[in-house]
Amino acid sequence: MASPQADRLSEVKFLTVAEVATLMRVSKMTVYRLVHSGDLTAVRVGRSFRVPEHAVNEYLRGAFQESA
């Protein structure tokens, strides 16, 4: 039987850096900068990064609130 944490993890949608860049309408380099600075949560898989979709939503929500 899977643990509750494993069940939640299977529900997480991970995005590539290119997908995040398209979604946010910025360059891939901007996404890499956000990841390396710690402003955007990401998981390293081999030599690439995967960003949880909820992390993008949280980042954009925070950026939107700061500009308001």
Domain assignment present for residue 6? The answer is no
Domain assignment present for residue 38? The answer is yes
pLDDT at residue 66 in the model: 74
Residue span of the structural domain in which 63 resides:
12-67
Are 40 and 56 contacting, i.e. CB atoms less than 8 angstroms apart? yes
Burial class (CB in 10 A: 0-12, 13-18, 19+), 56: buried
Backbone angles phi, psi at 16, to 5 degrees: -80, 165
**pLDDT tens track for 35-64:** 999 999 999 999 999 999 999 999 999 887
The pLDDT of residue 1 is above 60: no
State the total domains in the chain. 1
**pLDDT tens track for 14-40:** 999 999 999 999 999 999 999 999 999
pLDDT category of residue 65 using cuts at 50, 70 and 90: confident
**What is the residue type of 44?**
R
Taking all residues of the chain, what is their mean pLDDT, rounded to a whole number?
90
